[in-house]
Amino acid sequence: MDHGVLNLPLNKRGNGSIESQIDAYKRTEASAKAKARKLIAECIKANRITAKALVASTDDARWQELAQHAGQPVAAVKKHVTSQAHWQPAFVIRLLRKAA
């Protein structure tokens, strides 16, 4: 690198300001992360809807089977699975589709 160029301030060098390049990089990274978060949120929302529909359509025999497997009363299992339909919808989908 030319030592004459090194003595110039960064904003006066030929390739532009390093700060503006860093800012542009940060903007593109933030945009990509925001798009990824939005896609994940949409997927989780769709999974929640599916999980809640599965909880509503599960018959009493399946609840009895799950309660027996867990060693808990049916009401406790139903309450827990209903709660998990919001917080861990993928788990509930796997659980209730297993026997279906």
And the tokens for 39?
A: 């896609």
The confidence band for 1, taking pLDDT boundaries of 50, 70 and 90, is: low
Residues 13-72 pLDDT 10s: 666 677 788 899 999 999 999 999 999 999 999 999 999 999 999 999 999 999 999 999
Distances (CA, A) of 72 to 59, 68, 79: 17, 7, 11
Task: Give the C-alpha separation, 48 to 80, whole Å.
Answer: 15
- Give the Cα-Cα-Cα angle 81, 89, 80 (nearest 5 degrees): 15
For residue 26, the one-letter residue type is K
Q: Average pLDDT, stretch 91-97?
A: 94
For residue 93, the one-letter residue type is I
And the tokens for 40?
A: 């994940």
And the tokens for 34?
A: 């925001």
